[in-house]
């Protein structure tokens, strides 16, 4: 009997120690117990602060519980003890008021120092504008003409348990943010609709994205790598599906990457201009449109076009999707202010917008037979 008990305790201890050991690894691990140490000086300081205060709390807690335990064992009525009659002691009461004060001061000083360092966003090497919207992030490099949206890349079939989940389930995006290591990167954080919160645990950066206001944060990453986080403020239906992925590259690699991105974005713009003179056929529009619909529209209007009654309107059988084509283009391009319908003018190319509008007018029994071309969208956007 007693042996079994010892075995159980030994098992529990070995479980705890392996778990603690695993927690010191930077890679995610089932049964991670502790905060990540992260890969910046600040995140390391935050981790140290966390451990300091945690240990202080454990000591205080253990002290209180030990006294309680002692009383419940030795001062129990069933042992036949007579209760003491003492109460009120100014000395004791002053002591247990002042002692916590002193402990608090020792905790507040390093905390304040770290906080001051975290809020100092001056002298940044590069600046990235981070904009949240339902339910994606947009990154714009303020020093270079590069900008893009970053959407969750996990497939719906994985979420619906039809496919096996990959190791980065819900923590993977189509286009990660890329930043250089060893440089001070400043983030300007804002939102296009509701409040979001941009969080990368490995940098100890979490800052709310408030619509109409710009917040600042910064990081200086010490090690190249891929760092994953999530939106941390409830932002509606797909709040849980809005990951943040940041790749930190050596400065030289970063420079090469940003130059390449600039070139790609320049070519894409040229391609857009060429497209204006061309017509795509229905089959091509529908196939591109279906893909765009799945990433940009299906979250609200649902894959079957039926929306969520009372929350997001149906496109299947809707008046706009069946009749008023100009209004349809207008809604996609400009959005509807004061509602969850956002503007796609910057999120999608002309071709993609044309394709998705065509798709919406010809899918799920919406049989208008009409095609929309890039030049139609351009005409509405630029008035020619």
Partner 1 sequence: MTTATDELHHDDHHHDHKPSGIMRWLLTTNHKDISSLYLWFAFIMFLVGGAMAMVIRAELFQPGLQIVEPDFFNQMTTVHGLIMVFGAVMPAFTGLANWMVPLMIGAPDMALPRMNNWSFWILPFAFAILLSSLFMEGGGPNFGWTFYAPLSTTYSNDSTALFVFSVHIMGASSIMGAINVIVTILNMRAPGMTLMKMPLFVWTWLITAFLLIAVMPVLAGAVTMVLTDKYFGTSFFDAAGGGDPVMFQHIFWFFGHPEVYIMILPAFGIISQIVPTFSRKKLFGYASMVYATASIALLSFVVWAHHMFTTGMPLFGELFFMIATMLISVPTGVKVFNWVATMWRGAISFEMPMMFSLAFIVLFTIGGLSGLMLAITPVDFQYHDTYFVVAHFHYVLVTGAVFSIMAAAYYWLPKWTGKMYDTTLAQWHFWCSLISVNLLFFPMHFVGLAGMPRRIPDYALQFADFNKWISIGGFAFGLSQLIFLALLIKACRKQGEPVSDQVWEGAEGLEWEVPSPAPYHTFETPPVVK
Instruction: Write out the binding residues for partner 1, residues 316-375 only, by CB under 8 A.
Output: 338-340
CB 246 within 8 A of CB 179: yes
Dihedrals φ, ψ of 280, to 5°?
Answer: -95, 150
Nearest residue to 183 (alpha-carbon basis) of 144, 141, 221, 228:
221
**Residue from 158, 253, 306, 330 in contact with partner 1 (CB under 8 A):** 158
Candidates 65-73, 270-278, 344-352, 370-378: pick the segment binding partner 1 (CB under 8 A): 65-73
Candidates 167-175, 287-295, 352-360, 363-371: pick the segment binding partner 1 (CB under 8 A): 167-175
Nearer CB in complex with partner 1: 68/268: 68
Residue at token pair 């049989």: 367
Region 269-308 residues binding partner 1, contact defined as CB under 8 A = 308
Nearest residue to 315 (alpha-carbon basis) of 364, 262, 243, 244:
364
| By the rule CB under 8 A, 17 interacts with partner 1 | no
Region 175-194 residues binding partner 1, contact defined as CB under 8 A = 193-194
Whole-angstrom Cα distance, residue 156 to residue 291? 13
CB 194 within 8 A of CB 211: yes
**Residue from 141, 173, 220, 233 in contact with partner 1 (CB under 8 A):** 233
| DSSP H/E element including 177 | strand 177-180
**Residue from 7, 16, 61, 259 in contact with partner 1 (CB under 8 A):** 61
Nearer CB in complex with partner 1: 111/345: 111
**Residue from 2, 4, 82, 91 in contact with partner 1 (CB under 8 A):** 82
| By the rule CB under 8 A, 32 interacts with partner 1 | yes
**Residue from 10, 12, 13, 93 in contact with partner 1 (CB under 8 A):** 93
| DSSP H/E element including 66 | helix 41-74
Nearest residue to 345 (alpha-carbon basis) of 128, 138, 130:
138
Site string for partner 1, 197-226 (x = CB under 8 A): x-x-x--xxxxx-xxxx-xx----------
List beta partners, residue 358: none
């Amino acid at each position: 009997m007693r042996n079994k008990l010892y075995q159980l305790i030994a098992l529990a201890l070995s479980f705890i120690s392996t778990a603690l050991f695993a927690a010191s690894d930077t890679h995610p691990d089932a049964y991670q117990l502790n905060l990540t140490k992260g890969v910046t000086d600040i995140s390391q300081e935050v981790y140290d602060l966390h451990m300091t205060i945690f240990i202080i709390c454990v000591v205080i807690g253990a002290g209180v519980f030990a006294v309680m335990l002692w009383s419940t064992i030795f001062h129990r009525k069933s042992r036949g003890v007579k209760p003491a009659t003492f109460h009120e002691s100014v000395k004791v009461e002053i002591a247990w008021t002042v002692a916590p004060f002193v402990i608090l001061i020792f905790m507040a000083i390093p905390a304040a120092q770290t906080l001051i360092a975290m809020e100092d966003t001056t002298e940044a090497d590069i600046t990235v504008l981070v904009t949240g919207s339902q339910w994606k992030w947009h990154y714009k490099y303020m020093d270079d003409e590069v900008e893009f949206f970053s959407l969750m890349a996990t497939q719906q079939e994985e979420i619906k348990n039809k496919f096996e989940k990959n190791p980065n389930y819900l923590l993977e995006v189509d286009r990660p943010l890329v930043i250089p290591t060893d440089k001070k990167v400043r983030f300007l954080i804002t939102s296009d609709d509701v409040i979001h919160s941009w969080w990368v645990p490995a940098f100890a950066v979490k800052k709310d994205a408030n619509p109409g206001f710009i917040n600042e944060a910064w990081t200086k990453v010490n090690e190249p790598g891929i760092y994953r986080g999530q939106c941390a403020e409830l932002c509606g239906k797909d709040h849980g599906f809005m990951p943040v992925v940041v790749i930190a590259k050596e400065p030289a690699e970063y420079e090469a990457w940003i130059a390449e991105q600039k070139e790609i974005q320049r070519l894409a713009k040229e391609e857009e201009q060429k497209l204006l003179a061309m017509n795509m056929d229905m089959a091509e529009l529908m196939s591109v449109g279906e893909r765009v619909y799945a990433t940009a529209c299906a979250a609200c209007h649902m894959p079957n076009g039926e929306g969520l009654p009372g929350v997001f309107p149906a496109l299947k059988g809707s008046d706009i999707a069946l009749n008023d084509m100009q209004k349809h283009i207008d809604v996609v391009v400009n959005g509807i202010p004061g509602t969850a319908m956002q503007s796609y003018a910057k999120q999608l190319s002309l071709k993609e917008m044309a394709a998705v509008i065509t798709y919406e007018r010809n899918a799920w029994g919406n049989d208008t037979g009409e095609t929309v071309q890039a030049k139609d969208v351009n005409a509405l956007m630029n008035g020619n």
